[in-house]
Amino acid sequence: MPDSFCNWGALECVFPIVVAGEIHIFIPETIVAAGETINVPIVIDSMYLPITSQFVLDINVNSDVIKPIDYISAVTPAPATATLTGHLDDWRIDISWSTRVTLFGDTLGYLKVLVDPKAVGGSYSPIYIDDFTSDLMHTYWESGIVVVAYSGRPWLQTLVFDCPSDKSVAEKWLTFGVSSGATDLYDPRLDLLWLPSAPTEISAWFVMDDPSHPAVTRLSRDIKDIVPVNIWQVVVSFTREVRVRWNPLSFGEGIYMLNDEVDMKAESVYFAAANETLTITWSEPELVAARIPVIRGWNLLSLPVRNPTADPKIVFHRLLGPFEFNPITRSFQYASRVSSGIGYWAYSWQDLEFIVAGEPVDGFVLPVYTGWNLIGAPYSTVPVDSIRAIGTSILSIYGWDGSSYFVPSSLEPGKGYWVLVPADGELEIRGR
């Protein structure tokens, strides 16, 4: 009588054996240049019982930054076929052997990509691994990122000063920038001397301190060398509040901060107090990748890092949005530029680890207005009771868990929050 495994007395018994090995892959951060063709490695972090006959990887990229053009296998033994198929953002790598094999090596292969020639320094594309399957092995993976290096291009920006409360006051213009032929001192070929304004007009100038030209202390155009970090000090001499305007699109690569608080690529106006001195800092910082878990549906997010592009098409790739809240009109609008400190609504079609690259933000001072405001969090956790309200107070604060609101005890990196205040003011939020 046969048992549940084999017939007694039989010369052979056949048992099905299922091999359940493991493989863990990841894509490291890769620095590229605009217009470059480069092989991005898919690294094998670990393997156990690496027996398989097929792998399939589904990946997603930002096609505005990179375009996959080929897949090159690197594992041993070489597969019978290794193909790359797809279009725009979504691609598939299919790796097959004619029979089951035991794998060796520390690199699965290379994804060859073409970087857009127009990509600017600080832009990036995550390489999301959406799925990784094998016929016999358990698979684990970690998505990666490709970051475009800075190119050292010159740029020129104009600052416009006016007095909104008095239209009879004439505008004042200053220009500044960088050039390969400039220095941080007075350059007669590039810089322009300052001329005094009329007694009742706005007077503004760049501060110059050059021991070789001690008489030159004020400039109306200040061009510095093309190697950051560069700092400009702007004196605004006027007895009333002055509006300062600029075009964010006129800046070059890198990050531009006004008084260490205003991201000049994300904003276009600043109101200077009477006789205020402004400090503008240009840097090209090394970027880090922050990973923010998002869920399918609506997410209330913020940026714990400051990206040099401030471009929502780069920063919020794969998500619908971002949508910002205007606390003055109490309405939502698509954010044309993005910055840290602000909360944004964004919709995801799937659970994923949202990757954003930039300079970590330690803290910020954020203007808030009577009623509800959407705020963000810095790179590290901030206890709610450590938020400093200036000229106002916090009546309520709420976070969003994907389906309902909750009262948070701390602000978490990457998350956004509703804050209710009784009057216009500022919130100072600093990480630990």
Residues 89-140: pLDDT tens digits? 999 999 999 999 999 999 999 999 999 999 999 999 999 999 999 999 999 9
Structure tokens at 364: 């910020």
Nearest CA to 101 among 124, 129, 73, 143? 73
Q: Angle at CA 356, nearest 5°, toward 297 and 322? A: 45
Residue 295's pLDDT is 96
Beta bridge partners of 48: 22
Whose structure tokens read 């699109």?
Answer: 249
Residues 241-282: pLDDT tens digits? 999 999 999 999 999 999 999 999 999 999 999 999 999 999
Structure tokens at 400: 């969003």
Beta pairing, strands 30-32 & 90-102: unpaired
Collapsing DSSP to helix, strand or coil, 79 comes out as coil
Domains located in the chain, CATH noted? 21-148 (2.60.40.680), 155-283 (no CATH), 288-430 (no CATH)
The pair phi, psi for residue 145, each rounded to 5°, is -150, 145
Find the Cα–Cα–Cα–Cα dihedral 233, 236, 241, 244, rounded to 10°.
Answer: -60
The answer on pLDDT for 5 being more than 60 is no
Nearest CA to 147 among 38, 294, 257? 38
The answer on pLDDT for 1 being more than 70 is no
Nearest CA to 132 among 123, 117, 115, 144? 144
How far apart, in Å, are the Cα atoms of 144 and each of 87, 139, 221, 320, 418?
Answer: 19, 16, 42, 21, 31
Residue 300's pLDDT is 98
The answer on pLDDT for 2 being more than 50 is no
Beta bridge partners of 368: 425
End-to-end CA distance of the chain, in Å?
A: 73
Q: How many distinct helices (H) and strands (E) make up the chain? A: 1, 38
Residues 208-228: pLDDT tens digits? 999 999 999 999 999 999 999
3-state helix, strand, coil in the chain (%, to 5): 0, 55, 45
Is the peptide bond prior to 229 cis by the omega test (within 30 degrees of 0)?
A: yes
Q: Which residues contact 105 (CB under 8 A, 6 or more apart)?
A: 44, 74, 75, 76
Q: Supply the mean pLDDT for the chain.
A: 94
Total Cβ atoms within 10 A of residue 130: 16
- Measure the CA–CA gap between 151 and 302, rounded to whole angstroms: 28
Nearest CA to 315 among 326, 304, 329, 327? 304
- Measure the CA–CA gap between 384 and 82, rounded to whole angstroms: 52
- Measure the CA–CA gap between 338 and 20, rounded to whole angstroms: 45
Structure tokens at 343: 């909360």
Strands (E), 210-265: 218-224, 230-237, 242-245, 255-258, 262-263
Whose structure tokens read 């969003």?
Answer: 400
Contact (CB, 8 A) for 339 and 266: yes
How far apart, in Å, are the Cα atoms of 183 and each of 33, 205, 210, 241?
Answer: 26, 18, 11, 32
Beta bridge partners of 113: 38, 68
pLDDT, mean of residues 370-392:
97
pLDDT, mean of residues 24-34:
96
Contact (CB, 8 A) for 361 and 414: no
Q: Which residues contact 331 (CB under 8 A, 6 or more apart)?
A: 325
Q: What is the pTM of this model?
A: 0.87
pLDDT, mean of residues 369-394:
97
Look at 13-17, 84-88, 365-369 and tell me which has the smallest mean pLDDT: 13-17
Q: Which residues contact 404 (CB under 8 A, 6 or more apart)?
A: none
Instruction: Give the amino acid at 400.
Output: W
Q: Which residues contact 67 (CB under 8 A, 6 or more apart)?
A: 61, 113, 114, 116
Please indicate whether residue 431 or residue 173 has the higher confidence score (pLDDT): 173
The answer on pLDDT for 6 being more than 90 is no
Confidence band for 8, pLDDT divided at 50, 70 and 90: low
Collapsing DSSP to helix, strand or coil, 38 comes out as strand
Residue 432's pLDDT is 72
Contact (CB, 8 A) for 337 and 310: yes
- Measure the CA–CA gap between 430 and 323, rounded to whole angstroms: 24
Confidence band for 14, pLDDT divided at 50, 70 and 90: low
